[in-house]
Amino acid sequence: MSTQVPESETEAETETEPAGESAQDRRMAKKAAKREYRDSQKKAEEEIRAAEESVHLKVFRYDPEVEDKQEPRFDDFYVPYTKGMTVLDALMYARDHYDSSLTFRHSCRQAVCGSDAMFVNGRQRLCCKTQLSELAEPVRIEPLPHQDVVKDLVVDMEHFYDQMHAVEPYFQSEDVPTEEQRQSRENREKIKMSTRCIWCGACMSSCNIAAGDNEYLGPAAINKAYRFYMDEREDEEELKEHRLRILEQEHGVWRCQTQFSCTEVCPKDIPLTEHIQELKREAVKNNLKFW
Amino acid sequence: MWLLQRVTAAFLVLVLAFHFFLLHFYHHAFEITFAGTQTRMQDIGYFATMWLFLVTATFHGVNGVYNALVNQGISGTPKTAVKAILGLAGLLLVAQGTRVALYMNGFLA
Amino acid sequence: MSQSYNRGLVEDFSRWKEFSAGMWAWIFHKFTGWVLIGYLFTHIAVLSTAIEASSASSSAISEGTDVYSTTLTLLESTFVVRLLEVGLLAVAVFHILNGIRLLLVDLGIGLESQDKTFYASLVLTGAIIVASVPTFMAGLGGA
C-alpha cells in the first residue's frame, strides 16, 4: 500500500544498542528517517521512469502557521500514472512520496462520504470520483471556493453545516402509527434523488448567490428540506407549514436565481435546481391560498 | 413578491416588444414629433397601456435591482437605506412619468 | 464574506473561461437589467420635454418645431445615439429572451436543456440585432 513506510536496515542496528534512549539513538533514528524519505523519493522517480506517463499536478498550498506557506502558492508534483487513477490517488501519492505535510480530507474513496470535494481544473468535483484521464494537464487542485481555507486543501465546513441544520433535517411527526410507517412507491421515487446528498458542499461552493449572500440557505439545505417536505410519512399540515416558513424567508428559496451551477457539479446527480423550483411553486401556492 | 416579479415580467415581454415595434419599425424614431405623440396618446386604450407599462416596468426594474443587491449580500443599515431610496425613486419615476403622459395626452396643458 | 485569504472569487472575472452557461445567463441578465433601468430613468427625463412642448403654439406643434420634437430630432441625427439605440435593442432583446427562458424554468419546463436555451437566446438576440440595424440606421444625415 502506498501509505506503508518502506522497510529499512535500521531495525537491525537499533536492536544491538543498550536499552534506554541516548543521543546516539536519536541521531540514528533521525538519519533513518531521512534515508527513508530519500528512498521514497527515489522510488517515486523510478516509478515515474517505469510508468509510461506521469501526471503533472499543481496543488494549492497554504499554511498560516508555517512561515514559508503563509502566502498561498502552487506546488508542482509529478505523479506516475496508472490506469484508472483518480485525483485522490494522485494526491495520496504526492503526500506519501513528496511532501507529507500536504493536507486534505478523504475517507471512503468511493464517493459516499463527501469528504474530498475540491476545485479541480476550475470545477467542483469529488477527488475520489474524478479520473485523471479525463482531465487536462497540468491538473490544478484547489480547495473549495467561497469558504475559509484552514490549511492546504482543507476548508472550514462549519457554515455549510449551519445551513444544513437550519432546515431541521429530521422527522418531526408527533403522532406515529402503531404499526409501520408506510411510504408508497411513487412517493419514494419522488424523493429518491433528494436522499442521495452526501453533504460534500460542492453545490454551495459553486453557487454565486451563496458566495455573495452569507445568509442564503444554499442548494444542499433546501434539497434536504425538500426531502422532508415531500415525504408523505410526515403529513401533518402544521409541520409542512413550519418547514415552508423556514424556506420562504428572504434568504431561503427566493435567493435562487436558477444559475444551475449546483445541479451541474453535484457528484450524486441530484437535480437541485428542480427541487428548489418545486419548493418555490409550493410557497407561492401556499401564499395564494390565504387571499 | 417573486410571483409579482414574474407576472410583471410576462406582461412586459409583450408590451416592451410592442413599444419597440411601434416606435422603431412602424414609425421611425427620427420621425417622432410632438404632434404624432399627442395623437397616439389621445387614444385612451393606448394611453392606459403606456401607463401600465410605466408602472410595471418601474416595479420590475426597481424590484430587480433590489434583489440583485440582496444577492450580493447587503444587509443591515445599507439595506434599509437602499430599500427606502429605491422605493422613493420608483414612486418619483411613476409620478413624473404620469405627469408627462398627461401632458402628452392633452389632459394637462 | 467568508474568506480568510482572498483567493479571488470563483466568478472572479479572470477565470471567465471556466464559467458555465447558467452563470453567463445570470451575469448577462443582471447586467442588461441594470442598463435597462438606467435607460428607463433617462427616457422619462428626455420625454419630459413634452411638458414644455404641450404649451407651445399650435403652429409650432404642427410644424414640429416645439422643444420635444426638436430635441428628439436632434438626438436622432447623431450617429452615437443611433449606435446606442442598437445597443439598447440588443440589451432589451436579450433580457426579454432570457427572461422568457427563466419564466419557462420557473414553470418547470426545459430544465434539462437550460444551457441550450441560453445559447439559443444569444443566437436569436444576435440575429434580431443584425436584421434591425438597417432600420435603425435609416434616415441618418438629416432626414
CATH number of A68's domain: 3.10.20.30
Arithmetic mean of pLDDT, C79-92: 88
Query: What's the rounded Cα separation, in Å, for the pair C23 and A207?
Result: 9
- A214: closest chain B residue by CA: B73
Contacts of B70 (CB under 8 A, 6+ apart): A213, A250, A255, B79
- A285: closest chain B residue by CA: B3
Domain ranges, residue A63: 28-154
Q: In terms of domains, do A101 and A124 share one? A: yes
pLDDT at A199 over 90: yes
In a domain, A11, yes or no: no
CB atoms within 10 A of CB A136: 8
pLDDT digits over C104-136, tens only? 888 877 777 888 888 888 899 999 888 888 888
Say if A214 is an interface residue toward chain C (CB within 8 Å): yes
Contacts of A279 (CB under 8 A, 6+ apart): A222, A225, A226, A229, A244, A247, A253
Say if C46 is an interface residue toward chain A (CB within 8 Å): no
Burial of residue A177 (number of CB atoms within 10 Å: 0-12, 13-18, 19+): exposed
Q: How many domains does chain A have?
A: 2
The stretches of chain C forming alpha helices (DSSP H) are 21-47, 49-53, 58-63, 67-76, 79-106, 114-137
Q: How far is C47 from chain B (nearest CA, A)?
A: 7
Question: Mutating which of A159, A254, A257, A279 best tests the B interface, going by the most B Cβ atoms within 10 A?
Answer: A254
Percent over 70 (pLDDT), chain C: 84
A and C: number of Cβ contacts within 8 A: 75
According to the model, what pLDDT value does residue C141 have?
54
According to the model, what pLDDT value does residue A187 have?
92
Q: How far is B84 from chain C (nearest CA, A)?
A: 17
Q: In terms of domains, do A139 and A168 share one? A: no
Arithmetic mean of pLDDT, A121-136: 90
Domain ranges, residue B100: 2-105
According to the model, what pLDDT value does residue A224 have?
92
Q: What is the CATH number of the domain that holds A264?
A: 1.10.1060.10
To 10 degrees, what angle do helices A219-229 and A272-288 make? 60
Query: What Cα–Cα distance (Å) separates residue B99 from each residue in A250, A274, B12, B95, B108?
Result: 35, 44, 21, 6, 8
Q: In terms of domains, do A125 and A137 share one? A: yes
Q: In terms of domains, do A168 and A232 share one? A: yes
Q: In terms of domains, do A120 and A42 share one? A: yes
Chain B, window 26-45: residues with a beta carbon less than 8 angstroms from a chain C beta carbon: 28-35, 37-38
Q: In terms of domains, do A122 and A170 share one? A: no
Q: How far is A256 from chain B (nearest CA, A)?
A: 9
According to the model, what pLDDT value does residue C3 have?
35
DSSP SS3 for A177: coil
C6 — pLDDT class (breaks 50, 70, 90): very low
Query: What's the rounded Cα separation, in Å, for the pair C41 and C38?
Result: 6
Query: What's the rounded Cα separation, in Å, for the pair C100 and C61?
Result: 40
pLDDT digits over A147-178, tens only? 888 888 999 899 899 999 998 998 888 777 78
Contacts of C94 (CB under 8 A, 6+ apart): C28, C29, C32, C121, C122, C125
Query: What's the rounded Cα separation, in Å, for the pair A85 and B27?
Result: 66
DSSP SS3 for A5: coil
Specify the pairing of strand A54-61 against strand A139-142.
parallel
Q: In terms of domains, do A137 and A48 share one? A: yes
Least confident among B23-37, B71-85, C38-52: B23-37
Q: How many domains does chain B have?
A: 1
C11 — pLDDT class (breaks 50, 70, 90): very low
Is the CB of residue A241 less than 8 Å from the CB of residue A235? Answer: no
Is the CB of residue A155 less than 8 Å from the CB of residue A148? Answer: yes
Arithmetic mean of pLDDT, B74-83: 86
pLDDT at A30 over 80: yes
Domains of chain C, first to last: 19-137 (1.20.1300.10)
DSSP SS3 for A255: helix
Query: What Cα–Cα distance (Å) separates residue C89 from each residue in B34, B82, C95?
Result: 23, 29, 10
pLDDT at A192 over 70: yes
H helix or E strand, kind and range, residue A224: helix A219-229
Is A278's CB within 8 Å of C21's CB? no
Is the CB of residue C91 less than 8 Å from the CB of residue C32? Answer: yes
In a domain, A22, yes or no: no
| Residue where the block lists cell 444559475 | A259
pLDDT digits over A200-228, tens only? 999 998 888 888 888 889 999 999 999 99
In a domain, A116, yes or no: yes
pLDDT digits over A137-153, tens only? 889 999 988 888 888 89
According to the model, what pLDDT value does residue A223 have?
93
Q: In terms of domains, do A269 and A226 share one? A: yes
Q: DSSP string covering A38-106, please?
A: HHHHHHHHHHHHHSS-EEEEEEEE--TTSGGGSS-EEEEEEEE--TT-BHHHHHHHHHHHT-TT-----
pTM exceeds 0.90, yes or no:
no
According to the model, what pLDDT value does residue A196 have?
93
